[in-house]
Chain A
Amino acid sequence: MKGTHRLGVLLIAACCAVTRAASSGPQQPLLEFYASEAKASDPAFSGFSAERGEHLFRTRFPDGKPDTPSCTACHTTDPRKSGQTRAGKDIDPMAVSVSPKRYTDQAKAEKWFGRNCGNVLGRECTATEKGDFITFMLSQ
């Protein structure tokens, strides 16, 4: 009886591991949301790119607010390290490998993309840019 129970637990654990690998984790719903938005605005959309996301993360933009010309101004150039706000508070690392809960809450993601795209780029980000950004952070 005990043996069967253990086997069951093992099977469930194995199943979970496979599903997790296949759908690449809890960030998937948000990525799908941005993918459907991207498709709606650009029929030629063909998926997100970590390289484009990294470029977005590291570029200095001329039209943002003077204190925050790039994402790295607060998040540092290493996504696996903690950042710091201008007022001195820690920011959890952006990389999913270090902060696994990131990009799992759509309202939170929209709030911070909404604020920080304005701060850094001086405009709203497109759905493609948001998806690229998350894809880059998933690879980190």
Chain B
Amino acid sequence: MIVGHLLGVAHESTRGHATLVLAMVTGKKQAGLAVEPARLARARPIAAVFMLLLLLAIGVRQGVALSSRPAYGVPVGPLDRIFAKECGSCHFAYPPSLAPRIRWMALMDGLSDHFGEDASLEPDVASAIRAYLANNSAEKWDTRPARELALANPRDPLRLTATPYWTRMHLRIPDAVYKSRAVRAKGACDACHGDAATGRFDPQAIRIPERAFQ
């Protein structure tokens, strides 16, 4: 782009606008100098159509290739195996991007009373999960839930479904939906969010099961 502009300036200068560069500084151009009139070019429709098709082909190809890539910072890789097994046996295995590091560490410190249940782990399993969470917590990702869920509810600081953002986003969902057999719990993200396991939570991927309203 820059090279094209410079070449254009050089070309115009040789065609008679000797003062073009100076005009960029002073803002004044010499008027009335004989500039050879541009020759009329013949329309070349076949070449034009060919060029258009070529651009279209390249554009579509690039567009498809780029849109199939994950967006920057979006966690799409599979969850750590140990984490998914240990944390996913009682509840949906929340992707680590859904809470900041400090909250994960507080959760891991309190496993013997984990939201009213003993969820203790063997020390080696616990330390493997701690390391995974520390390396993949909300700070590491550029997704909306990662940013917004970082703000905790001071009255229930560890609970994801108590955060102001979660509450605001689910204001219009009646409680009966969470109690339904199709959803079962507030924390069962994957019941409605098709991309919950990635932590992305795209609005386009929401589908509340119809049975939840019956």
User: Which one of B91, B118, B185 lies within 8 Å of A115 (CB-CB)?
Assistant: B118
The answer for the CA separation of A36 and B185 in the assembled complex, in Å, is 41
Interface status of A87 (Cβ within 8 A of chain B): yes
The answer for the CA separation of A66 and B184 in the assembled complex, in Å, is 19
The answer for the CA separation of A87 and B88 in the assembled complex, in Å, is 10
Interface status of B119 (Cβ within 8 A of chain A): yes
- CB atoms of A111 and B90 under 8 A apart: no
Task: Classify chain A's interface size.
Answer: 10 to 19
The answer for the CA separation of A115 and B114 in the assembled complex, in Å, is 11
Interface status of A70 (Cβ within 8 A of chain B): no
User: Which one of A65, A84, A116 lies within 8 Å of B116 (CB-CB)?
Assistant: A65
Interface status of B92 (Cβ within 8 A of chain A): yes
Total number of residue pairs linking A and B with CB closer than 8 Å: 48
- CB atoms of A86 and B120 under 8 A apart: no
- CB atoms of B122 and A111 under 8 A apart: yes
Interface status of A85 (Cβ within 8 A of chain B): yes
The answer for the CA separation of A119 and B92 in the assembled complex, in Å, is 20
Q: Shortest Cβ distance from B188 into chain A, in angstroms?
A: 4
- CB atoms of B188 and A118 under 8 A apart: no
- CB atoms of A87 and B187 under 8 A apart: yes
Encode contact with A along B91-128: 1 for CB under 8 Å, 0 otherwise. Answer: 11000000000000000000010001111101000000
Q: Shortest Cβ distance from B37 into chain A, in angstroms?
A: 79
Interface status of A114 (Cβ within 8 A of chain B): yes
Nearest A residue to B191 by beta-carbon distance?
A88
Report the count of interface residues on B (CB-CB < 8 A).
18
- CB atoms of A119 and B117 under 8 A apart: yes
Encode contact with B along A103-140: 1 for CB under 8 Å, 0 otherwise. Answer: 00000000100111011000000000000000000000
- CB atoms of A115 and B92 under 8 A apart: no
The answer for the CA separation of A115 and B119 in the assembled complex, in Å, is 6
Interface status of A6 (Cβ within 8 A of chain B): no
Task: For B119, list chain A residues within 8 Å (CB).
Answer: 115
Nearest A residue to B90 by beta-carbon distance?
A85
Interface status of B183 (Cβ within 8 A of chain A): yes
Task: For A27, list chain B residues within 8 Å (CB).
Answer: none
User: Which one of B112, B122, B185 lies within 8 Å of A87 (CB-CB)?
Assistant: B185
Interface status of B89 (Cβ within 8 A of chain A): yes
- CB atoms of B117 and A67 under 8 A apart: yes
The answer for the CA separation of A85 and B88 in the assembled complex, in Å, is 11
Chain A residues 37-66 with CB under 8 Å of chain B are 65-66
- CB atoms of B120 and A115 under 8 A apart: yes
The answer for the CA separation of A119 and B116 in the assembled complex, in Å, is 8
The answer for the CA separation of A10 and B32 in the assembled complex, in Å, is 110
Chain A residues 64-116 with CB under 8 Å of chain B are 65-68, 84-89, 111, 114-116
Task: For A116, list chain B residues within 8 Å (CB).
Answer: 118
Task: For B120, list chain A residues within 8 Å (CB).
Answer: 114-115
- CB atoms of A66 and B90 under 8 A apart: no
The 7 residue pairs across chains A and B that have the minimum distance between CB atoms: A88-B184, A87-B91, A88-B185, A118-B118, A88-B188, A85-B90, A115-B118
Footprint of A on B, CB under 8 Å? 88-92, 112, 116-120, 122, 183-185, 187-188, 191
Known: A65-B118, A86-B117. 12 other contacts (CB 8 A): A66-B116, A68-B116, A86-B90, A86-B116, A87-B90, A87-B91, A87-B185, A88-B91, A88-B92, A88-B185, A89-B89, A89-B90
